[in-house]
Amino acid sequence: MIRIYADLHVHLGQALGRPVKIPAARTLTLPAVLEHCRRRKGLGMVGIVDAATSGGLEELRRLLRGGELRALEGGGFRYEEAVTLIAGAEVETADEGCRSHWLGFFGRLQALEGFAARLWRVVSNPQFSTPRAAWRARDFVEAVTETGGLALPAHAFTPHRGVYGSCADRLAALLPPPALARVAAIELGLSADSEMADHLSELRRLSFLSNSDAHSLDKIAREHNLFELGEPSFDELARALRAEGGRRVAANFGLDPRLGKYHRTACNRCGEVAAAPPPVRRCPGCGSADVTKGVRDRLAEIADASPGPSGRAPYVHQLPLEYLPGIGRKTRERLYGAFGSELAILHQAPAEELRRAVGGKVAEVIILARQGRLAVIPGGGGVYGRVEYALSTGHRID
């Protein structure tokens, strides 16, 4: 069994010179993502969720023709014998009165093409990322699984198009039993973690994924998974999600959910973010009912279980370099130069070597972040939480 780090939700900004996802960085091209995963992020697997756009699909075919990518027998596409690309699609579905985002992943080019052909019949522009499809959630799950893919809700709890956040109290309310049985996993999203999600009993049987939803190179792997697989292929990924034959999601690495931009309820009038125990439904500052409900508050409303001991993989909270106070782009470059990948810096680099590379103050921030000892101010209403340059006990560092 091998252990690899994987981030399965990365967007493209551009493919073959044309825009794919308007609000994503133009530097986010398929070749750039692959190279960034290999050199900077230390990922062994990356899911591109714009592979079923017209530009993304064409670029994938070009890289395969040119030999930059190699189709694996077990599914997936290998880059430089270091990173496996998993081709995917994020799609917005419409059920009665609500829209939600879903992810589909495909192991073979033919499966992806078969899915894209069905998708393009129900969207207005196949060039754009996360298209609104004239599909209900159940139609999406059917289209993906019938073409041999894996289907799952994206950022399941966020108020912006998360299935629980904006659609339903239960997946079972949205999907008939056959479709429900085909759901391959749940993507937690930046504002939730496993402990929170295990408050829903219908999720007990599902694997959890922690992915970045990156719209720029920097944000790749800000959340990621550790898989144990027989080999880094699509079929092995599918087995891991089913926890079959010893394959499994061995750990989830994610932002401290308090950093997520929808963690707590926030007021749309005055901007106040709730601090009282959840669920909070009105603004604690001005009393307005015009609020964006937080993920923690939403979960407190719909919970039907209390998480006990389970075989669930550990969820490791991490604070990516980009979020750490006093660590700018230049310092990050120095760190990459000294230690290679972001994962090596965050999890492995010894304190003494960090000190030698970037000085005592930066090294201390990284070590405190690794130990979960920095103070976090919760996010809400579309504004990310913040990491403060202070110990979580309130004690200043400098």
Nearest distance in Å: CB 138, Zn ion: 19
Nearest distance in Å: CB 73, Zn ion: 29
The amino acid occupying position 332 is R
Q: Which of residues 60-89 bind Zn ion (CB under 5 A)?
A: none
Angle between helix 351-358 and 329-339 (nearest 10): 130
Q: In terms of CB distance, is 133 or 154 closer to Zn ion?
A: 154
The amino acid occupying position 64 is L
Q: In terms of CB distance, is 8 or 200 closer to Zn ion?
A: 8
Q: In terms of CB distance, is 100 or 341 closer to Zn ion?
A: 100
Binding mask 134-173 for Zn ion (x = CB under 5 A): --------------------x-------------------
Does residue 213 interact with Zn ion by CB under 5 A? yes
Does residue 218 interact with Zn ion by CB under 5 A? no
Q: In terms of CB distance, is 59 or 90 closer to Zn ion?
A: 90
Q: In terms of CB distance, is 159 or 378 closer to Zn ion?
A: 159
Binding mask 268-307 for Zn ion (x = CB under 5 A): ----------------------------------------
Q: In terms of CB distance, is 88 or 380 closer to Zn ion?
A: 88
- Pick the stretch among 101-109, 111-119, 262-270, 277-285 that binds Zn ion (CB under 5 A): 101-109
**How far is residue 61 from each of residues 58, 240, 274, measured CA to CA in Å?**
5, 27, 48
Q: What region, left, alpha or beta, does residue 177 occupy, with left being phi > 0 and alpha being psi -120 to 50 degrees? A: alpha
Nearest distance in Å: CB 276, Zn ion: 29
Does residue 108 interact with Zn ion by CB under 5 A? no
**How far is residue 16 from each of residues 21, 27, 29, 205, measured CA to CA in Å?**
13, 12, 8, 40
Give the Cα separation of 120 and 16 in Å (integer).
19
Nearest to 287, CA basis, from 306, 265, 305: 265
Q: In terms of CB distance, is 90 or 95 closer to Zn ion?
A: 90
Nearest distance in Å: CB 23, Zn ion: 10
- Pick the stretch among 18-26, 213-221, 313-321, 361-369 that binds Zn ion (CB under 5 A): 213-221
Backbone phi and psi for residue 267, each to the nearest 5 degrees, phi listed first: -80, 130
Tell me the number of residues near Zn ion by CB under 5 A: 4
Q: In terms of CB distance, is 139 or 213 closer to Zn ion?
A: 213
Nearest distance in Å: CB 213, Zn ion: 4
Nearest distance in Å: CB 379, Zn ion: 17
- Pick the stretch among 50-58, 131-139, 192-200, 206-214 that binds Zn ion (CB under 5 A): 206-214
Q: In terms of CB distance, is 160 or 312 closer to Zn ion?
A: 160
Nearest distance in Å: CB 24, Zn ion: 9
Nearest distance in Å: CB 21, Zn ion: 8
Q: Tokens for 171?
A: 């997946």
Q: Which of residues 237-256 bind Zn ion (CB under 5 A)?
A: none
Q: In terms of CB distance, is 183 or 362 closer to Zn ion?
A: 183
Residue nearest to Zn ion (CB): 101
Instruction: Single out the residue of 38, 101, 296, 370 in contact with Zn ion (rule: CB under 5 A).
Output: 101
Give the Cα separation of 336 and 333 in Å (integer).
5
**How far is residue 305 from each of residues 227, 264, 299, 308, 332, measured CA to CA in Å?**
27, 20, 11, 9, 42
**Pairing relationship of beta strands 83-95 and 98-106 according to DSSP bridges:** antiparallel
Nearest distance in Å: CB 90, Zn ion: 5
Nearest distance in Å: CB 285, Zn ion: 29
Binding site for Zn ion (CB under 5 A): 90, 101, 154, 213
